[in-house]
Amino acid sequence: MRPLRTSDIARAVGIHPNTVRVYEQWGFLPPVPRSESGYRLFSGLHLEQVRLVRMALRCTQLGGAIRRQALGVVERAAGCDFPAAGQQARDLWEMVRREREVAEAAVIHLEQWAEGRTGSEDLPGMRISEAAALVGVSIDRLRDWERNGLLSVPREESSGYRVYGPAEIERLQVISAMRKARYSQMSILRVLQTLDRGNKEGLRQALDSPAPDDELYYHCVFDQWRQALAEAEENARRMIGHLEKMSLWFK
C-alpha cells in the first residue's frame, strides 16, 4: 500500500487535514514517519487509528471517568497495544451501560411520581434545612432550584419561612434523582413544565428535546442526556469491534 498523505486521511474520514495534524500533536496516533522532503507518510494503521479516535471522541463528551476511559483506549491503541485497548474499550462500554441504567432509573422515578405512585404523602412539613438533609443537597442548592423555576415553595404567613410539604418534598426527590443521574437543570425544567401542563405522556421526549432558544442548548450535552448516552454506548460497541479488526490487521 502506498503511503498516505495527510489529505488522504482527512478525506477518507471526513475531517479537515489540520484535525489530523492535531491528533498527531496530541499523541493520538502511532509515530508518523516523514519523507526526505518532510511530508508525513501515513499508513493504513494511521487511517484506522483516526477512525478509532473519532469514535472515542464522541464518548469523551460525557466527561468524567468516561472521558478518561475513552482517551485511555486511544492511547493504548496509539501504542499498538490492541489487547489492552480492547479491554479498555469493553470497560468503557460497561461504564456507559451502567450510566444509562442510572439515567433510566431516574426517569422511572419521574414517571412513578407523575402517576402519584411515590408513597410520600405522609411526610410532615419541613423547613429548608430539613428538606435539604432529606434529599442530600445543600440549602443553597435548594434555593438555586427554586430561583431557576424547578419548584415553588409556600411560606408561613407569620414567619416567612419556607415550608416543604409532601408535594414539594416529592418534587425535590425527583429533581435530586435526576441531577444525580446527570440530567441538566434545563432538561429537568423542561420535563417539569411539561408535567405541570398536564402532559404525562411526553416526559421522555421533553428530556431529549431542547428548544433552539434554550440558553444552554449550544454547549450542554446533558440537555439531551439519554440520547448522548445511547450514542456513546453505540460508539463504545463500535470501538470494540474496530479494535478487534486492528489487532488482526496490524499484528
Can you tell me the distance from the alpha carbon of 18 to that of 154, in angstroms, rounded to the nearest whole number?
57
Angstrom distance (rounded) from CA 92 to CA 28: 17
| 141-180 residue pLDDT tens | 999 999 999 999 999 888 888 999 999 999 999 999 999 9
Question: pLDDT digits over 115-129, tens only?
Answer: 886 666 666 788 999
Axis crossing angle, helix 139-147 with helix 166-180, rounded to the nearest 10: 100
Give the span between the Cα atoms of 231 and 251, in whole angstroms: 30
Half-sphere exposure of 44 (CA within 13 A, CB side): 9
> Residue 42's beta-bridge partner residues?
4
CB 193 within 8 A of CB 185: no
39-63 tens-digit pLDDT: 999 999 999 999 999 999 999 999 9
Cα(48)–Cα(238) distance, integer angstroms: 13
Interatomic CA distance for residues 251 and 244, integer angstroms: 11
H/E element holding 223?
A: none
pLDDT at 81: 96
Domains, the chain, with CATH or none: 6-97+245-249 (1.10.1660.10), 103-227 (1.10.1660.10)
Question: Which single residue is written with the C-alpha cell 450514542?
Answer: 231
Of residues 106 and 159, more confidently modeled: 106
pLDDT at 246: 95
CA-to-CA dists, residue 147 to 38, 105, 170, 186, angstroms: 59, 26, 18, 13
List phi, psi (to 5°) of 164: -90, 105
What would the pLDDT profile of 191-241 be if each residue is shown by its tens digit? 999 999 888 888 888 888 887 665 544 457 888 999 999 999 999 999 999
CA angle, residues 99, 103, 107, in degrees to nearest 5: 165
| Position 94 pLDDT exceeds 90 | yes
pLDDT at 118 (0 to 100): 61
Contact 90, 237 (CB under 8 A): no
At residue 232, the pLDDT reads 96
pLDDT digits (tens, 9 = 90+) for 1-43: 689 999 999 999 999 999 999 999 999 999 999 999 999 999 9
Indicate the average pLDDT of the chain: 91
Per the model's pLDDT, the better-predicted residue between 89 and 217 turns out to be 89
Give the closest residue to 15 by CA, choosing from 68, 51, 69.
51
**Percent of the chain with pLDDT strictly greater than 90:** 78
Alpha helices per DSSP H over the chain = 6-13, 17-25, 44-60, 64-78, 82-114, 128-135, 139-147, 166-180, 185-196, 203-207, 225-249
- Report the C-alpha gap between 63 and 113 in whole angstroms: 29
